[in-house]
Structure 1
Amino acid sequence: MPKVKYLVVGAGVSGLGFANFIDSEDYLILEKESAAGGYCRTIYNGEYVWDYAGHFFHFANQELKNFFNSKIDPEDLINKEKNTKIFYKGEYIDYPFQKNIHQLSKDEFIDCLYDLFNKEEKNEYVGFEDMLYGKFGKSITEKFLKPYNEKLYACDLNSLDSNAMGRFFPYANIKEIIDNMKLEEDNSYNKEFLYPKKGAVTYINALLKELNTNSIIYDQEVIDIDVKNKVVTTTTDKFEYEYLINSAPFDHLIKYIDSKEYERTKEKLTYNKVLVFNLGFDKKSSIEDMHWVYVPDKDINFYRFGFYDNILDSDKLSMYIEIGYESDAELNIENQLELTLKNLKEIGVINDHKLLAYSSIIMNPAYVHISNEGNSLKNNKKKDLQDHNIYTIGRYGDWKYCSIEDSMIDAMNLAKELNEV
Structure 2
Amino acid sequence: MKIGILGGGLAGLSLGYFLNQRGYDFLILEKNPETGGLLKSVQIEGFTFDVGGSHIIFSRDREILNFMASLLGDNVVKNRRNTKILYKGRYVKYPFENGLADLPKQDNFECLYYFVQNLIAKEKGLLKPPRNMKDWFYYTFGKGIAEKYLIPYNEKIWKYPLDKMSTVWVERIPNPPIEDVIKSSLGISTEGYTHQLYFYYPKFGGIQSLARALERPIKDKIVTNFEAKSIKKENGKWIISNGKCEFEFDRVISTIPIPELIKSLDDVPEEIIEAVNNLNFNSLITVGIGVDRSKLNDFSWLYIPDKDILPHRVSFPSNYSPHVAPSGKSSILAEVTYREGDEISRIKDDEIAGITVENLHKLGIMDKKDVVLTTVHRFKYAYVIYDLDYRNNLEAIFKYLNEIGIESIGRFGSWEYANMDAVIKMVKDYVG
Deviates more, 1:301-310 or 1:219-228: 219-228
Q: How many residues align?
A: 409
Q: Match for 1:9: what amino acid?
A: L
Match of 1:319 in 2: 332
Root-mean-square deviation (Å) = 2.2
Residue 153 (structure 2) pairs with residue 148 (structure 1): yes
Tell me if structure 2 keeps the 8 A contact 1:7–1:28. Answer: yes
Q: Match for 1:81: what amino acid?
A: R
Match of 2:191 in 1: 185
Match of 1:194 in 2: 200
Q: Match for 1:189: what amino acid?
A: H
Tell me if structure 2 keeps the 8 A contact 1:128–1:160. Answer: yes
Deviates more, 1:113-122 or 1:324-333: 113-122
Residue 291 (structure 2) pairs with residue 281 (structure 1): yes
Counterpart secondary structure, 2:250: strand
Residue 258 (structure 2) pairs with residue 250 (structure 1): yes
The 1:351/1:112 distance shift into structure 2, 3 A limit, reads same
Which one of the candidate residues 217, 222, 225 is aligned to 1:216? Answer: 222
The 1:340/1:71 distance shift into structure 2, 3 A limit, reads closer
Counterpart secondary structure, 1:364: strand
Pairs within 5 Å for 1:5-84: 5-22=2-19, 23-52=22-51, 53-65=53-65, 67-68=67-68, 71-74=71-74, 76-84=75-83
Residues 130-157 of structure 1, C-alpha deviations (whole Å, 9 max, x = no match): 1111222222111110110111111111
The 1:49/1:333 distance shift into structure 2, 3 A limit, reads same
Counterpart secondary structure, 1:360: strand
Measured after TM superposition, the shift of residue 356 of structure 1 is 1.6
Q: Match for 1:207: what amino acid?
A: L
Tell me if structure 1 keeps the 8 A contact 2:5–2:26. Answer: yes
Q: Match for 1:323: what amino acid?
A: V
Q: Match for 1:141: what amino acid?
A: A
Residue 357 (structure 2) pairs with residue 341 (structure 1): yes
Residues 185-233 of structure 1, C-alpha deviations (whole Å, 9 max, x = no match): 234331111110221111111111211x332111111123225753323
Measured after TM superposition, the shift of residue 349 of structure 1 is 1.2
Measured after TM superposition, the shift of residue 51 of structure 1 is 0.8
Tell me if structure 2 keeps the 8 A contact 1:115–1:138. Answer: yes
Counterpart secondary structure, 1:139: helix
Match of 1:207 in 2: 214
Tell me if structure 2 keeps the 8 A contact 1:131–1:162. Answer: yes
The 1:69/1:176 distance shift into structure 2, 3 A limit, reads closer
- Gaps of at least 5 residues in structure 1 are 417-421
Which one of the candidate residues 146, 162, 166 is aligned to 1:161? Answer: 166
Counterpart secondary structure, 2:309: coil
Measured after TM superposition, the shift of residue 123 of structure 1 is 4.9
Q: Match for 1:6: what amino acid?
A: I
Counterpart secondary structure, 2:407: strand
TM-score by length of 1: 0.90
Residue 180 (structure 2) pairs with residue 176 (structure 1): yes
Tell me if structure 1 keeps the 8 A contact 2:58–2:200. Answer: yes
CA distance in 1, matches of 2:288, 2:146: 30
CA distance in 1, matches of 2:271, 2:239: 19
Residues 78-98 of structure 1, C-alpha deviations (whole Å, 9 max, x = no match): 100111000011110101112
Counterpart secondary structure, 2:335: strand
Q: Percent identity?
A: 27
The 1:86/1:102 distance shift into structure 2, 3 A limit, reads same
Tell me if structure 2 keeps the 8 A contact 1:220–1:235. Answer: no
TM-score by length of 2: 0.88
Residues 18-39 of structure 1, C-alpha deviations (whole Å, 9 max, x = no match): 1111123410110000001011
Q: Match for 1:292: what amino acid?
A: W
Deviates more, 1:39-48 or 1:134-143: 134-143
Q: Match for 1:11: what amino acid?
A: G
Counterpart secondary structure, 1:324: strand
Match of 1:310 in 2: 319
Q: Match for 1:45: what amino acid?
A: I
Q: Match for 1:414: what amino acid?
A: Y
Match of 2:244 in 1: 236
Counterpart secondary structure, 1:143: helix
CA distance in 1, matches of 2:69, 2:276: 41
Tell me if structure 2 keeps the 8 A contact 1:280–1:317. Answer: yes
- Gaps of at least 5 residues in structure 2 are none
Tell me if structure 2 keeps the 8 A contact 1:283–1:353. Answer: no
CA distance in 1, matches of 2:269, 2:369: 50
CA distance in 1, matches of 2:45, 2:431: 39
Deviates more, 1:27-36 or 1:396-405: 396-405
Match of 1:419 in 2: none
Residues 21-80 of structure 1, C-alpha deviations (whole Å, 9 max, x = no match): 112341011000000101101111122111121010114545545545554332x11100
Tell me if structure 1 keeps the 8 A contact 2:275–2:397. Answer: no
CA distance in 1, matches of 2:233, 2:301: 44
Counterpart secondary structure, 2:113: helix
Residues 103-139 of structure 1, C-alpha deviations (whole Å, 9 max, x = no match): 2111111222222223365453221011111222222
Which one of the candidate residues 136, 139, 163 is aligned to 2:144? Answer: 139
Residue 359 (structure 2) pairs with residue 377 (structure 1): no
